[in-house]
Structure 1
Amino acid sequence: MKNLILFSLTCILLSACSNDRERYQYHDDHAPTAIPPLAHIEDVNPRYEPQSRGGNKDYRVRGINYKVWRDITELTETGGASWYGNKFHGHLTSNGERYNMFAMSAAHKNLPLPSYVQVTNLANKKQIIVRVNDRGPFHKGRIIDLSYAAAKKLDIIQAGTGQVEIKLIHFPEHENTSLLEKQQNESIYGTFTIQYLVTSSAAKATQLSNQLTNKHNVATFFEQKNNLYYLRIGPLNSEAKTEALLKTIKKEYPKAYIIHQEP
């Protein structure tokens, strides 16, 4: 019996060593050799999640101590983004899940696990939403490590890195509906949008939409009809809040007005 126990322990240790070698068998990380279609992969649907049992203690990597921001509710960061692929695909993330390079996930040094963040590529203004379930990147100047799919959607695969802005999407514990569910529930009561400008320039439409999103922390979008772009902010479910926002918008866009869509 003693020999059997020793044999079993030896097998477990050998298996662990084998997995460790497999995880680091590539000197450098690289893209997958067979890339499945990624166009159908959508952003994750943010919702309240309790902090995972793993990955939420302060830790030390390469002689540097890192603190986990357990009670954070707001965060905007600008810095470098990188991505990780085959080297870690299928292996455990810091919170104990399996890393999938074709999922919309990411790694951050300090955010509680899991967290949701919006990531904007500052070079082309493309945006995604990812779920943070891992730790890293441990390189100077980098603030987030993206999955292969997430990096692909931001167009930073070829360059390897890119400058991004990340914003934390926070849900209080009592608010257990997802962002998508909230939007769907709000639409039951009708929605309000504010149209503030019409332009013939696609570049201007994108630039102004991003500016107003950052300035007012409200979603923006534009509709294209023929060769014109109709810039709008919303949707909002409160008429009072929409009226208040309209007063602010009119200081810069005096011709702005409210559009009310019945459910």
Structure 2
Amino acid sequence: MDFTISERQLGQDLTSGAILLLALLVINACSTQIAKQTSTVEPAPEKADTSAKVIPKNEPKSKYGNPESYVVFGKRYYVLPSVKGYVEEGIASWYGPKFHGKRTSSGETYDMYQVTAAHKTLPIPCYARVTNKKNGRSIIVRINDRGPFHDNRIIDLSYTAAVQLGIVSRGTGYVEVRAIDPSVSPIAIAQTAATDTQATPSEQTAVQGSQSELKIFVQVGAFGVLANAQGLAQRLQAFKIGDVQVHKFTVAERDIHKVWIGPLNDVAEADVTVNKLNEIQHQDYKIVFSEPF
């Protein structure tokens, strides 16, 4: 199945000959995401339809953008065979004017005024409910692009989706992404879509003041045995990456010892921490948000 690198993911000027060569080699797919892997906040456009909604429906997989796996920046990503059971929490970003009108990985044209998103591994197109964990705003998006190819981001939202969730001004937000299977209960899903909540401009400002309620941590391991967690913490402390701590959680009546770095001040500091982990070849990590301990 073809996998196309879009302009968004390629992120560099190419001569027509080079573009032709890429087309001939069928190396098309992860475009503008490569160009925008930093956490820089884009200037906001002037308008967004805060009442726009997406109603999930059954759609065939796109001809483009659904290989078994693909490689970006030396990292291999495996496309999921279906959306069933997919739930993830992490940092969302958004992309806007710079990529408006560019081709997405699915072959469709990116429209920042539609309620869409990019995801690294969910089959495209598909649908997911995205919930801002800090203000409770929740919407359904249609995923039709690949990305974001940044270590600390799980989904890249269109401008309108970001406005509805209240994360435009900051550029990022802590969200839950829950994939939707339209074949399960189409009527119930349509009814749920009608209850989507969106942040008004005044609410977005208020939310900024409440960002301190949850703190950012980088989880670098989880163990059933306390000694194993403490061993990892000691090894990481030797590299002076940050404040490495072991926290105990009880899951299904079983104690789990999680090794966290933090709390961190913001997403930028989390990015720096992850870069340090990559430098020492520790790539088993994820971003988590929690109240301070």
- What residue ranges of structure 1 are gaps of 5+ in the alignment? 1-11, 18-22, 185-263
SS at match of 1:59: strand
Q: 1:108 to 1:81 in 2, by over 3 A?
A: same
1:154 alignment counterpart: 165
What does 1:223-262 correspond to in 2, within 5 Å? none
1:105 alignment counterpart: 116
SS at match of 1:54: coil
TM-score for the superposition, normalised by structure 1: 0.55
TM-superposed deviation, 1:180: 2.7
Contact 1:47–1:177 (CA under 8 A) maintained in structure 2: no
What does 1:132-147 correspond to in 2, within 5 Å? 132-147=143-158
Post-superposition Cα deviations, 1:21-76, rounded to whole Å, max 9, x if no partner, equal: xx769x9672354x224233x22110111111000012110000010002341211
TM-superposed deviation, 1:161: 0.5
2:62 alignment counterpart: 52
Once residues 70 and 145 of structure 1 are traced to their aligned partners in structure 2, the CA distance between those partners, rounded to angstroms, is 20
Letter of the structure 1 residue corresponding to residue 101 of structure 2: G
1:73 aligned to 2:84? yes
Contact 1:81–1:164 (CA under 8 A) maintained in structure 2: yes
1:180 aligned to 2:183? no
Contact 1:109–1:136 (CA under 8 A) maintained in structure 2: yes
1:3 alignment counterpart: none
Contact 2:48–2:160 (CA under 8 A) maintained in structure 1: no
Percent same amino acid among aligned pairs?
42
1:13 alignment counterpart: 16
**What do you get for the CA RMSD once the two structures are aligned?**
3.1
SS at match of 2:97: coil
1:171 aligned to 2:182? yes
Q: 1:37 to 1:69 in 2, by over 3 A?
A: closer
Q: 1:178 to 1:61 in 2, by over 3 A?
A: farther
- What residue ranges of structure 2 are gaps of 5+ in the alignment? 1-14, 21-31, 195-293
What does 1:208-223 correspond to in 2, within 5 Å? none
1:30 aligned to 2:33? no
Once residues 57 and 164 of structure 2 are traced to their aligned partners in structure 1, the CA distance between those partners, rounded to angstroms, is 22
Once residues 192 and 177 of structure 2 are traced to their aligned partners in structure 1, the CA distance between those partners, rounded to angstroms, is 22
- Which entry has the higher C-alpha Rg, 1 or 2? 1
1:94 aligned to 2:105? yes
TM-superposed deviation, 1:138: 1.1
Letter of the structure 1 residue corresponding to residue 78 of structure 2: K
Number of equivalenced pairs: 164
Q: After TM superposition, where is structure 1 displaced by more than 6 Å over at least 4 residues in a row?
A: 175-178, 181-184
Q: 1:88 to 1:29 in 2, by over 3 A?
A: farther
SS at match of 1:151: helix
